[in-house]
Amino acid sequence: MAKKAKTAWVFQDARQKQKLGASKCPWSVGWYHPETRRRTSKTFGPHWRADKARREIAEALNAGASEDGLKAILDGALEHDDEILYERIVLQAGPVELHMPAHLSSDDLADLDDWLRGLRRRLRRRAGGR
């Protein structure tokens, strides 16, 4: 008998979808944990990122990856997306100069994270993404 393929799926949480609306609701990927057989999920934001993660998770599950292996794959996928985003910006919009505002210090990580999040959003808009 052939071994059944393990799958992952993309979905939007019904409660978040009702609260935020279909267009602003983040997309998640769900799969069955390889050892405990429980449903597991992770939120990814835009649909394209969730769909890409779904393919990678399904490949890893079919290859026999453990939960730690899945976490490493997911962390690497998100870092790789940032690299692709940077390359798109540089190729389409030209070089980008980054100037950290004077009121931010590297000691205050919360403010720095907010500033970086806003910067990524502006750079995505500049590159034509969402």
**Given pLDDT bands bounded at 50, 70 and 90, which one contains residue 83?**
low
| CA distances (Å), origin 21, targets 13, 26, 71 | 11, 10, 29
Taking only the tens place, the pLDDT of each residue in 59-76 is 888 887 766 677 776 766
| CA distances (Å), origin 10, targets 43, 58, 110, 129 | 10, 11, 30, 21
- What per-residue confidence (pLDDT) applies to 19? 92
Taking only the tens place, the pLDDT of each residue in 105-124 is 666 667 777 777 887 787 77
pTM (global) more than 0.85: no
Token reading at 66:
């453990």
- What per-residue confidence (pLDDT) applies to 15? 93
- CB–CB of 9/30 below 8 Å? yes
